[in-house]
Amino acid sequence: RGEPIIRLSDVVPEGQQRFLHDRYILDRALSILYGDGATAKSSLALRWAIAVGIEHGPVLYLDWEDDAATHAERLMAICTGLRIDSSEPEIYYQRRAARLADSVREVRRLIAEKGIVLVIVDSLGMAAGDPNNHDLMIESVRACRALGVAVLAIHHLPKNSTDKSKPFGSVYASNEARLTWLVEKEQE
C-alpha cells in the first residue's frame, strides 16, 4: 500500500535535501557504500555512524558479515583517534541471519524503540540473500525504503572486476540508491 494521494502543487519543497553527514548520507533514503573486499567499507561506515550519532541521534548497525566484538574494537579505535568517548555516539548493533525483507516489522520496532535516525546494512547482498537475484534484491531495497529512516548499505564489487561503476549483482541496488560511493584502497 502506498501513502495517501496528494496534489503535487500543494507540496511545499523543504529547500535543500537534508543530509545526515557531509552530503554522504541522505536522510530517509538509501545510500550505498561499495567497493572491493578489504577497502575498509565497514570502518568508514562506522566512522560516519559516529558522526551521525553525535550530530543527529541513534544509529542501528545491522550486520550479516561480522560480529559485535570486531565492531566494538573498531568503534573504540576510531573514537580514540577522534579523542571522543566511545559511549558518546549512541550506536546499537545487531548480528543478523534472516533476510532484511523478512525482518522489516522487527527492525521498524527497534527503530521506534530507540529513536534510530540511521540504519547501516552490512552487507546489502547478504541482507538480500542473493545479490544476483533481481527479485530478492528488489525486495531488499524496498525493505530499506520501508524502514522510514536513512539507510547506508555496504555492498561489494564483483571479484576481478575492471568496471567499478556499479556495485555487485542486480542493477536494482544502484538504481534504487539516491547516492552511491565507491571506496578504493590506495597503496603507497
C-alpha grid cell, residue 121? 546494512
Judge whether residue 6 has pLDDT over 70.
yes
Whether the predicted model's global pTM rises above the 0.75 cut: yes
Output the pLDDT for position 93. Answer: 98
- In this predicted structure, what is the pLDDT of residue 36? 87
Q: Residue 38's pLDDT is what?
A: 86
Q: What is the pLDDT of residue 16?
A: 62
- Cβ atoms of 157 and 131 within 8 Å: the answer is no
Q: Dump pLDDT digits (tens) for 124-166.
A: 999 999 888 889 988 999 999 999 999 999 998 877 777 777 7
